[in-house]
Structure 1
C-alpha cells in the first residue's frame, strides 16, 4: 500500500507557492508580502490544522509555531506523524471545550469541513443513551407487567367462571423501538468521522456500528436530509433530543455529496488561544519557582500555584479600559506576585510595555514585596529562561529592580500535558 503523502508547513512561516495552489489556500489561510528580493508575493501560513487534498489522498499539516522542526517531522514514520497531528487537533478541540465556559469563544476561530463541537455532542449522546430510538406503543394478548384494561375490555371476551366475571385474555402494552432518520444520521456521523478523520483526530470508537458503513444516500442528499431533520425537530419536545438534532444538522452542513472529492479541512486561525490555555494548565501543574533568573519547572505534579487570567479596570472614567494579564498569581503570605503573559510569537525583540504597566499597577495594588514578570513563548528545544528586559536604575526609585524574563517553554511538553 502506498504511503500517504504529508506536506508540512508551519504557522507564521513561508508557504511554497505550489502548496498554496495544490490545497486551494485562500482568504484567512495566509498573509502575504511582496518580496523585492524574490520579485513576487511571498505567502505565510496563518493557521494551525490540516487540509486533506481533493486531488489525491495527500495531507497538508500546518504545525504550531515552534512546535517541532519541519525536517524532524518529515523524518518520522507515518504512525508518529499521525500521532502528532492528532495531538494538535486534540489541543484545538480541548480549547474549544474550555472556551464554552468563558467569554472567550475560541470555536469561532476554528473553521473547516468538520465540526468538533457537534461531533463530540453527538458522541456524548451516544455514550449516554445509545442510538436514538423512536418509541411506539403496541399491544399484545397475554399476561405481562403492563396490562391495558381499556384494550382488554374492548378486545377480549367475557366469561363467567365459578360465578365470577372474567375477561380473558389480558392485553398488555409493549414498547416498540423504531429506528428513523435520526438514528441513521447518528450512525453516519460516527462512521464517517472514523473513516475520514480517524488518523488525525481523537474519535469515539464504535466498532458495533462498522457493519452499517457510510450510508451513501445521506451523502447524496445532504440538503434533503437536513430539511427532514428540521421538520422532525418541530415534533420533538425533549431538550436533549432537540440538541441532538441541532448537532446532526451542524455536522451535516459541513458535508456535501462530493465530500470525498473536495478538500477536507480543520483550521484554527487563533492558536494563540490554545497556547494560552495550555500554558496556564502547565504552570499550575509543573511550575516550581523563579530561581537564579530561571523559571523552574518540575517533571512531577506539583500543583503549587493557581494561575488564572484576570481582568481589572484601572480607569475611573472608563470601565472598558482594563488590564488583562494571562497568568496571574499573588501569594498573600509571602507577598510575592507572579505576572506571566503567553506570547504565541516566532520571536520577541522589542520591549513589551504592557508588561511594565502590569508590574507597576498590580504591584502597587497588591503592595507586593517581590514581583516576577515573564513572557512565555513556544520553543522546540529544552525549556530555558533569559532576561528579556532589565530596567536601568536611573529610571526607578527606592532601589527598585524590574526584570522581565523571556521563558522559552518546550511546546511538545506543554501540549502533551494539555491533552492528557
Structure 2
C-alpha cells in the first residue's frame, strides 16, 4: 500500500482528465455526473488498482490545506479514511429498512457485511475451536480413575492393589477448518483494506488450505455446518459460506462506492442535533453546545396531512422536535450549495402550521407553536448560518415572520461526534 499513488477527491468535485485515465477501467457512468459545467464525481468511497488509489470523501469535507496535509502525512489520511468508513458502517448497522440500499452498495464488490459477522464473532468468542479430551498413560496431570481402573495393569504391593501407570486426561483445543477459514477472511480483508479498516490480524498458518478453490471450501463449510447445533455457530458458518460465494479474486482491482451518502449525512445530522443542539436565537441562528447535551429527541417524522390519511400523500421531515411551545423542523441536505428555493421546506411549514397546536374543546386553535425551519448542509469550514428565505409580508399578511435558515455544519466534526472519536 505504501508504494501506491493516492488521488484525493471529494464527491461533487470536477473530474481531472488525467486522474480519470488512471481509473478508466474502474469508473462507470454512475460514478461521474455529467452536466453543463463539466464532469463531477458522484460517489463516496475508494477505488484500488494495481498502482493507484482514488479516494473520494463526502462533499465539503476537506479544504485545500487538509488535502495537502494528507499528501504529506499518510497516517493522517488513514485516520480520516478509518473515520469515514466507521460512519458508513454505523449507518449500515442501524436496523432500518431505509439503509438497505447502502448495505447493497457496501457489499457490491466485496463481502464487507459477511466480514463484519465473522470479525464480530471472533471478537466475542475467539476462534472457533473443537475441544478434544486426550487420555494417555502417565503420572502428572488430571487422573481419570475410571479409565485407570479399567485399563491399567494391577500391581500388589504390601497387600495394597495399585493401578500403574495411571491414565491422565488432558483437554486440548484443536484448531479446525472453520478456524482457518475465519483467520483467512480476517487477515486477508484487513490487509487488503488497511486504508479503511482497523483491526488485529490473527496470523494463523492457513497455508495447508487452498482458498482459491472456492467450490471445495464452500462444500466443506456446508458439510461442517451439518454437525453444528448452536445458532451462533451456524450463523458464523453461514457468514463464511456467503463470504466465499461473493469473494472474487480480482488482484489489486477493488472498489467501495457509496452513492447514497445523503442517507449517511441525514443519520449523522440527526445524531449531532440530539447531542449538540441547544437553542435558536432571535435571529433564527442555531446554537450548539461545546459539550454533549441531554438527549434532544429529534426524530424523523411521518405525517399524513391528506384527508385520506395513510392512503393519501404524506410528508417526512428529516429531524422534527417539539419542545415547550417551539417546533423545530430541520432537513439534512447533502448538497455543496443551495442555489434554488427549497419549496419542500416551505411546504413543511404550511402543512404542519396548526398540527399539534393547543386547541380548545371545540377544536379551535388557542395557541400555535412557534416554528423554526433550517436546512443543514456540510462544510469544510466552521459552523455558520445564513438566511435561505424570508417571507415578504406583502405576499402573506398572516405570517409576521417566516424564515428558513441554512445551517452549515463542519463535516469532520459531525463525523467525529457520530462515531464518538
TM range (shorter): 0.7 to 0.9
- Contact 1:272/1:343, CA 8 A, preserved across alignment: yes
Q: Distance in 2 between matches of 1:10 and 1:216?
A: 43
Aligned to 1:84: 80
Structure 1, unaligned runs of 5 or more: none
Q: Who is 2:391 aligned against?
A: 391
Equivalences for residues 160-179 of structure 1 within 5 A = 175-179=171-175
Instruction: Assess, with a 3 A threshold, how the Cα gap between structure 1 residues 218 and 276 changes in structure 2: closer, same or farther.
Output: farther
Output the CA distance in 2 between the equivalents of 1:401 and 1:161: 107
1:340 corresponds, among 330, 345, 359, to 330
Among 198, 202, 227, the residue aligned to 2:219 = 227
Alignment of 1:107-256 (within 5 A): 107-140=103-136, 147=144, 149=146, 155=151, 175-198=171-194, 200-206=195-201, 209-210=202-203, 212=204, 215=207, 217-256=209-248
1:181 CA displacement: 1.8
| Conserved? CA contact 1:287–1:304, under 8 Å | no
**Which stretch shifts more, 390-399 or 285-294?**
390-399
Q: Which runs of 5+ in 2 are unaligned?
A: 358-367
Aligned partners of 2:284 and 2:403 also within 8 Å? no
Contact map agreement 2:11 2:58 (CA 8 A) in 1: yes
Per-residue deviation, residues 266-318 of structure 1 (Å, max 9, x unmatched): 22121111111111111111111111231112222223522121223333425
Partner of 2:351: 361
8 Å Cα contact 1:390-1:403 kept in structure 2:
yes
Structure 2 contact 45–56 (Cα < 8 Å) conserved = yes
Aligned residue in 2 for 1:265: 255
CA distance 1:21–1:104, change in 2 (3 Å) = same
Q: Secondary structure in 2 aligned to 1:273? A: helix
SS at match of 1:243: helix
Partner of 1:186: helix, strand, or coil?
helix
- Aligned with 1:387: secondary structure? strand
Q: Which residue of 2 aligns with 1:293?
A: 284
The reply to whether residue 15 of structure 1 matches residue 24 of structure 2 is no
Specify whether residues 171 and 310 from structure 1 end up closer, same or farther in structure 2 by C-alpha distance, changes over 3 A only: farther
SS of 2:46's equivalent in the other structure is strand
Moved more, 271-280 or 299-308: 299-308
Greater mean alpha carbon deviation, residues 380-389 or residues 390-399: 390-399
* SS of residue matched to 2:99: coil
- Match status 1:94 vs 2:95: no
TM-score normalised by L of structure 1: 0.84
SS at match of 1:203: coil
Q: 1:12 to 1:147 in 2, by over 3 A?
A: same
1:137 Cα deviation (Å)? 4.2
Per the alignment, in what secondary structure is the counterpart of residue 12 of structure 1? coil
- RMSD, aligned CA: 3.2
- Shift in alpha-carbon separation, 1:400–1:304, aligned structure 2, 3 A: farther
279-288 vs 346-355, which moves further: 346-355
Counterpart check, 1:68 vs 2:59:
no
- Whether the 8 Å contact between 2:284 and 2:372 is mirrored in structure 1 is no
1:274 corresponds in structure 2 to: 264
- 1:306 paired with 2:297, answer yes
Does residue 329 of the first structure (1) align with residue 325 of the second (2)?
no
How far residue 49 of structure 1 moved from its aligned partner, in angstroms, is 0.8
**8 Å Cα contact 1:311-1:325 kept in structure 2:** yes
The equivalent residue for 2:377 is 377
Change (3 A) 1:383 1:148: same
Give 2:362's aligned residue: none
* Counterpart Cα distance in 2 of 1:256 and 1:214: 19
Q: Secondary structure at the match of 1:350?
A: coil
Of the candidates 274, 284, 296, which is equivalent to residue 274 of structure 2? 284
Normalised to the residue count of structure 2, the TM-score between the two structures is 0.83
Q: Who is 2:364 aligned against? A: none
CA distance in 2 between partners of 1:31 and 1:371 (Å): 39
Residue 126 (structure 1) shift: 1.4
CA contact (8 A) 1:111 1:268 kept: no
**1:173, distance to aligned residue in structure 2 (A):** 6.1
- Deviation, 1:158, is 7.8
Residue 88 of structure 1: CA displacement?
1.2
In structure 2, relative to structure 1, the CA distance for the partners of 1:299 and 1:146 (3 Å cut) is: farther
C-alpha deviations, 1:63-95, integer Å up to 9, x for none?
A: 111111356413432222222222211211111
Q: Secondary structure at the match of 2:375?
A: strand
| Offset from partner CA, 1:344-394 (integer Å, 9 cap, x none) | 012212222222232233331121421001110111111111111112224
Mapped partners of 1:285, 1:347: distance in 2: 25
